[in-house]
């Protein structure tokens, strides 16, 4: 069981990278990108393309993939997301749902339906592990992923806290109109945020493809895990997404420890439990607790 | 004659069937303080929105030092030299007081590195917020939030500053400090447009006065003459248009 918990914590690192972009988009642009998981998978296929077709070394491929995906995020925000935002809350959902379908079928057309992996391009990193006492073994790749997650979130935190653009991102997320009035071009800041978010999705996708087999249709499941991490960790908090990812990862791997079928179910259950507690607390704050529910509303 | 610091010509603004501004003309020179009065709903705040770029006029043009900025975004106008404070303060909660002002100095003021830090510190000091620089903006009371609005506007190094009811809720002593500060801005060659309901304070500070009612400018000129104007008395003090 201790082993399962450790694996779950490390898995949380992957979820945190995946969820950070989603959280950033929601916090800064107030935009829910349903194609986030598909963009992660696209990032993985792009890295695979660089390795298999262009013959680039794998880490060089990752280094090439991230800026390309960031540029794609910038472009998507400018060409699609910003336009849909002007038309209420439903259109962004529909547009990114459509974008997701486009990406899935586009990848299917270009790369075929075969499952692929970056795992066999990174040598022993994909399978080797360190043996710790108490029957715990930690995989080198999950550990590496977790360390990268902490470094990336830390760098992002410093970027938001200390740099000029980071400050503008925070100002825009708090009050876009007031940000305009101190000279911050909110539309431009939104494009920066989208670029960072899509690059983070791609980074997560690369790690996914190193750890597992991917198909063009792997995106939606990843989107759900990202969503669950964001909600568990609290929307708009970077370190919260790490906590959320870890909670989700631990729940899943404890579920899998009980029975292999429980991997996903346990994750969904902990998500529903957290959501239920949140909703109950809101309800209590607005309408009073169980006491008033039992005794009836007295005003 | 040099171009006015800021000029609005034939500005109209319509929200659906509701016409809030009706062909308003207004011009302020550098180093001049223009007061704006009028009953609630006269279109004063809408006028600021149109001048600062938060709103696009349905008709008319906005000129900054002779340059047409009607099509420019609020952020661009801010960088070109128009600053505005809100009637209801809108600080960036979740950031410190200093960071609020630093963002304004770095973007609106176009300052970098230590110069931005210095600019932000100066704006805070002038607004009387220097001692609160490191506090979270969310911890400020209403008056300090108003000061923060002013500090943020000053940090963008404006040539035109639009003040929307910045004096409301201040004590007499605080109003004196505010009038002195606005006098300093005038000395620096800034054009100031000031919407204010506290007449005796406003009249002490301004060079010219505009009275608006029902989306129009109904009188403009020497402050006491405007206040004595019969139309103004009826619209503003009598309350019936």
Q: What's the pLDDT tens digit per position in A171-217?
A: 998 888 889 888 898 889 999 999 999 999 999 999 999 888 888 99
Q: Is B106 touching A (CB cutoff 8 A)? A: yes
Q: Is B45 touching A (CB cutoff 8 A)? A: no
Worst-scoring range by mean pLDDT, A132-146, B98-112, B113-127, B190-204?
A: A132-146
* Closest-CA residue of chain A to B110: A183
Nearest CA distance, B58 vs chain A (angstrom): 19
> Would you list the DSSP string of A45-102?
HHHHHHHHTS---HHHHHHHHHHHHHHHHHHHIIIIIHHHHTT-SHHHHHHHHHHHHH
Select from A167, A177, A185 the Cβ nearest to the Cβ of B103: A167
Q: For residue B151, what pLDDT band results from cuts at 50, 70 and 90?
A: very high
- For the beta sheet containing B6-15, the strands, ordered from the edge strand earlier in sequence to the opposite edge, are B18-28, B6-15, B59-64, B67-68
* Closest-CA residue of chain A to B150: A182
Nearest CA distance, A167 vs chain B (angstrom): 6
Q: pLDDT value at position A296?
A: 52
CB B158 within 8 A of CB B53: no
Three-state secondary structure call for residue B24: strand
Biggest alpha carbon–alpha carbon distance for chain A? 73
pLDDT at A37 over 60: yes
Q: Is A180's CB within 8 Å of B99's CB?
A: no
Mean pLDDT of chain A: 87
Q: Is A86 touching B (CB cutoff 8 A)? A: no
Q: pLDDT value at position B148?
A: 92
Q: What is the pLDDT of residues A160-184, one digit of tens each?
A: 988 999 999 999 988 888 898 888 9
- Which chain B residues are within 8 Å of A237, Cβ to Cβ? none
Q: Is B108's CB within 8 Å of A170's CB?
A: no
- Which chain B residues are within 8 Å of A182, Cβ to Cβ? 78, 103-104, 107-108, 152-153, 155-156
Strands A136-139 and B33-37: unpaired
Strands B208-213 and B216-221: antiparallel
Question: Going by C-beta distance under 8 Å and a sequence separation of 6 or more, which residues neighbour residue A72?
Answer: A39, A198
Q: pLDDT value at position B150?
A: 92
Top-confidence residue, B237 or A132:
A132
Q: pLDDT value at position B240?
A: 46
Please report, for chain B, the start and end positions of each structural domain, with discontinuous segments joined by +.
6-81+158-238, 94-152
Q: What is the pLDDT of residues B67-78, one digit of tens each?
A: 899 988 899 999
Please report, for chain A, the start and end positions of each structural domain, with discontinuous segments joined by +.
2-295
The one-character DSSP state at B136 is B
Alpha-helical regions (H) of B71-221: 74-80, 97-107, 113-126, 142-155, 172-187, 199-205
Q: Is B92's CB within 8 Å of A168's CB?
A: no
Q: What is the pLDDT of residues A283-296, one digit of tens each?
A: 787 776 666 555 55
Please give the average per-residue pLDDT across A5-34, as a whole number. 90
Nearest CA distance, A162 vs chain B (angstrom): 9
Which tokens in the block code for residue B163?
């003040």
In the stretch 112-141 of chain A, residues with CB closer than 8 A to chain B read: none
pLDDT at B156 over 50: yes
**Residue A227 CB neighbour total at 10 angstroms:** 21
Please give the average per-residue pLDDT across A146-157, as a whole number. 93
Question: Going by C-beta distance under 8 Å and a sequence separation of 6 or more, which residues neighbour residue A277?
Answer: none
Name which of B220, B202, B212, B128 is nearest B166 in CA terms: B202
Question: B6-81+158-238 falls under which CATH superfamily?
Answer: P-loop containing nucleotide triphosphate hydrolases (3.40.50.300)
* Closest-CA residue of chain A to B82: A181
Q: Is B75 touching A (CB cutoff 8 A)? A: yes
Q: Is A167's CB within 8 Å of B155's CB?
A: no
Phi and psi dihedrals of B212, rounded to 5? -110, 150
Three-state secondary structure call for residue B195: strand
What number does CATH give the domain A2-295? 1.10.3470
Select from A171, A177, A186 the Cβ nearest to the Cβ of B103: A171
- Which chain B residues are within 8 Å of A164, Cβ to Cβ? 103, 106-107, 112, 116
pLDDT at B124 over 50: yes
Complex ipTM, two decimals? Answer: 0.78
Nearest CA distance, B74 vs chain A (angstrom): 6
| Element at A152 (helix H, strand E) | helix A140-162
- Which chain A residues are within 8 Å of B54, Cβ to Cβ? 177, 180-181
CB B194 within 8 A of CB B34: yes
Q: Is A164's CB within 8 Å of B93's CB?
A: no
* Closest-CA residue of chain B to A162: B99
* Closest-CA residue of chain B to A180: B75
* Closest-CA residue of chain B to A236: B94
Chain B interface disruption, residue of A160, A161, A183, A191, most B CBs within 10 A? A183
Q: For residue A299, what pLDDT band results from cuts at 50, 70 and 90?
A: very low
Q: What share of chain B has pLDDT > 90, as a percent?
A: 41
Top-confidence residue, A61 or A133:
A61
Q: What is the pLDDT of residues B60-69, one digit of tens each?
A: 999 999 889 9
Which tokens in the block code for residue A257?
């420890």
Q: pLDDT value at position B40?
A: 84
Q: What is the pLDDT of residues A61-111, one digit of tens each?
A: 899 999 999 999 999 999 998 888 888 888 989 999 999 999 999 999 988
């Amino acid at each position: 069981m201790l082993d399962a918990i450790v694996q779950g914590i490390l898995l949380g690192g992957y979820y945190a990278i995946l969820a950070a972009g989603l959280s950033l988009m929601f916090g800064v642009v107030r935009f829910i990108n349903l194609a986030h998981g598909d963009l992660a998978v696209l990032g993985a296929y792009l890295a695979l393309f660089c390795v298999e077709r262009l013959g680039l070394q794998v880490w060089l491929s990752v280094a090439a993939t991230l800026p390309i995906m960031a540029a794609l995020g910038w472009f998507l925000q400018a060409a699609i997301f910003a336009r849909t935002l002007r038309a209420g809350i439903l259109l962004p959902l529909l547009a990114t749902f459509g974008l997701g379908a486009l990406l899935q079928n586009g990848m299917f057309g270009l790369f075929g339906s075969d499952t692929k992996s970056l795992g066999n391009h990174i040598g022993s990193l994909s399978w080797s592990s360190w043996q710790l006492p108490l029957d715990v073994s930690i995989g080198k790749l999950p550990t590496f992923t977790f360390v990268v997650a902490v470094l990336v979130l830390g760098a992002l935190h410093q970027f938001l806290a200390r740099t000029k653009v980071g400050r503008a991102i925070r100002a825009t997320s708090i009050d876009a109109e007031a940000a305009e009035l101190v000279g911050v071009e909110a539309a431009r800041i939104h494009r920066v945020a989208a670029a960072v978010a899509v690059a983070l999705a791609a980074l997560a996708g690369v790690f996914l493809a190193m750890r597992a087999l991917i198909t063009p249709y792997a995106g939606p499941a990843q989107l759900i895990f990202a969503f669950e991490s964001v909600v568990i960790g609290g929307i708009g908090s970077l370190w919260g997404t790490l906590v959320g990812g870890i909670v989700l990862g631990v729940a899943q791997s404890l579920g899998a420890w009980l029975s292999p079928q429980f991997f996903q179910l346990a994750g969904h259950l902990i998500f529903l439990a957290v959501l239920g507690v949140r909703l109950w607390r809101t309800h209590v704050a607005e309408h009073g607790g169980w006491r008033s529910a039992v005794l009836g509303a007295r005003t | 004659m040099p171009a006015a610091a800021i000029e609005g010509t034939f500005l109209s603004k319509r929200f659906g069937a509701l016409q809030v501004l009706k062909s308003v003309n207004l011009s302020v020179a550098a180093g001049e303080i223009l007061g704006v009065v009028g009953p609630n709903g006269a279109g004063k705040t809408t006028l600021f929105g149109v001048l600062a770029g938060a709103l696009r006029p349905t008709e008319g043009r906005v000129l900054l030092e002779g340059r047409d900025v009607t099509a420019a975004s609020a952020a661009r106008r801010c960088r070109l030299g128009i600053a505005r404070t809100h009637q209801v303060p809108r600080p960036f909660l979740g950031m410190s007081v200093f960071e609020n002002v630093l963002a304004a100095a770095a973007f609106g003021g176009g300052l970098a590195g230590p110069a931005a830090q210095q600019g932000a510190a100066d704006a805070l000091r002038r607004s009387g917020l220097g001692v609160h620089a490191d506090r979270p903006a969310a911890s400020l009371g209403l008056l300090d939030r108003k000061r923060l609005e002013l500090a943020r506007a000053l940090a963008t190094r404006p040539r035109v500053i639009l003040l929307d009811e910045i004096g409301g809720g201040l004590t007499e002593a605080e109003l004196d400090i505010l009038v002195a500060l606005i006098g300093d801005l005038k000395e620096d060659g800034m054009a100031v447009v000031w919407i204010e309901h506290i007449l005796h304070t406003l009249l002490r500070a301004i060079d010219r006065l505009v009275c608006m009612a029902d989306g129009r400018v109904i009188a403009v000129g020497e402050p006491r003459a405007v206040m004595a104007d019969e139309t103004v008395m009826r619209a503003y003090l009598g309350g019936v248009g």
